[in-house]
Structure 1
Amino acid sequence: MQLKELSERTGVSPASIKFYLREGLLPAGRSVHSTRAEYSEHHVSRLELIQSLRRVVGLNIAQIGSLLRMADGGTPRLDLLAAVQRTVLGLDDVSTEHGDLRTPAGDAVVRFRNWPDVPSDARNSLNAHLALMESLGVPVTDDLLNAYSQAVDTIAAANISATTAPDDVNQLIMTAAVGMHLHGQLVLKLLALAHTSHAIRRYETHA
């Protein structure tokens, strides 16, 4: 298909498509003339991904470009998913002079759920948050960590089965990024409703 049809198929303006081509977010089409190129279904898939990352997830061009360069460069799937998670969830890039940040509470969570005892941005981010809570006088008990981690483990198991399914890298990033964003928001909304419901039950009975 030519640029005009690609624009019509995706709803992305020709000017935006040309911008994405210049920025390297969209691969060049197959040249058929000095002033004309043909585009494929891969270009359609890539444009849909870019639009979703911008409009649904709220990523900027630099963030999208970083993820797409990793995808196009053959980054292993596990590393790509980790980068998507770090970008979409805004995980803190915590670094220390002594390597990865560890806390007793964070180590306890790993033991409770029998999760792999390996460093990651997610684990560092959790440990940084646990350390912050401790410093503010809001300690987290083992019972609370056990209950919370059990709940999110069930959620994560359901999510990851979907995010690792697509073979196409554009669909992999789309499913992972949009899924993490929307499912994360869903969990927060459900938690808010649960808090409200428990508060109503507790305080209406005492009214």
Structure 2
Amino acid sequence: MQLKDLSERTGVSPASIKFYLREGLLPAGRSIHATRAEYSEHHVSRLELIQALRHVVGLPVAKISSLLRMADGGAPRLEILAAVQRTVLGLDDVSTEHGGMRTPAGDAVVRFRNWPDVPSDARNALNAHLGLMESLGVPAGAELLDVYSQAVDTIAAVNISATTAPEDVNQLIMTAAVGMHLHGQLVLKLLALAHASHAIRRYEPDA
């Protein structure tokens, strides 16, 4: 298919496609003429991924480019998933005051759930947050951490099966990034509804 066909197929304007080609987010098509190129299903899949990352997840072009360079460079799936998590959840924005430092509460969570005792951006982010809570005088106790971690462990087990199944790297990033973003928002909305429901039961028992 030519650029016009690719645009009609994906709903992405020719100008945007040309921009993605210039920025290296979209690989060049197969040249068939001095001014024409032919595009494939891979280009369709890549454009759908770029659009989802930009307009659903809300990532800037620079961060999308970083993820796609990893994918095109043949990075292992675990590294790609870690980069997607770091980017989508903003784990690379964690304050360095507590990030990277182990905390007793963070170590306790790992023991409670028998999670791998290895460094990760997610663990750094948790330790940073636990450190912040401690400094503000609202530490997370063992009972609370046990209950919370058990709930999210169940959620994560379902999510990881659904979002990491695709073999195609474009689809892998798509399902992981969109899944992390939308599922995370779903958990927050459900938690908000649960809080509201418990408050209503307590203060308006006849509701």
TM above 0.5, one fold?
yes
1:144 lines up with 2:149 in the alignment: no
Q: Give how far 1:96 is off.
A: 6.3
Paired letter, 2:133: M
SS of residue in 1 equivalent to 2:191:
helix
Matches within 5 A, 1:51-200: 51-92=51-92, 100-200=100-200
Q: Give how far 1:203 is off.
A: 1.0
Task: Give the match for residue 43 of structure 2.
Answer: 43
Paired letter, 1:115: W
Q: Normalised by the size of structure 1, how large is the TM-score?
A: 0.96
SS of residue in 2 equivalent to 1:31:
strand
CA distance in structure 2 between the aligned counterparts of 1:188 and 1:95, rounded to whole angstroms: 22
For structure 1, list consecutive stretches of 5 or more residues without a partner in the other structure.
none
CA distance in structure 2 between the aligned counterparts of 1:4 and 1:188, rounded to whole angstroms: 41
SS of residue in 2 equivalent to 1:79:
helix
CA distance in structure 2 between the aligned counterparts of 1:38 and 1:58, rounded to whole angstroms: 29
Paired letter, 2:45: S
Q: Normalised by the size of structure 2, how large is the TM-score?
A: 0.96
Q: Give how far 1:100 is off.
A: 3.3
Contact kept? 1:94, 1:101, Cα under 8 Å: no
CA distance in structure 1 between the aligned counterparts of 2:30 and 2:90, rounded to whole angstroms: 36
Paired letter, 2:126: L
For structure 2, list consecutive stretches of 5 or more residues without a partner in the other structure.
none
SS of residue in 1 equivalent to 2:116:
coil
CA distance in structure 1 between the aligned counterparts of 2:167 and 2:96, rounded to whole angstroms: 36
CA distance in structure 2 between the aligned counterparts of 1:107 and 1:61, rounded to whole angstroms: 36
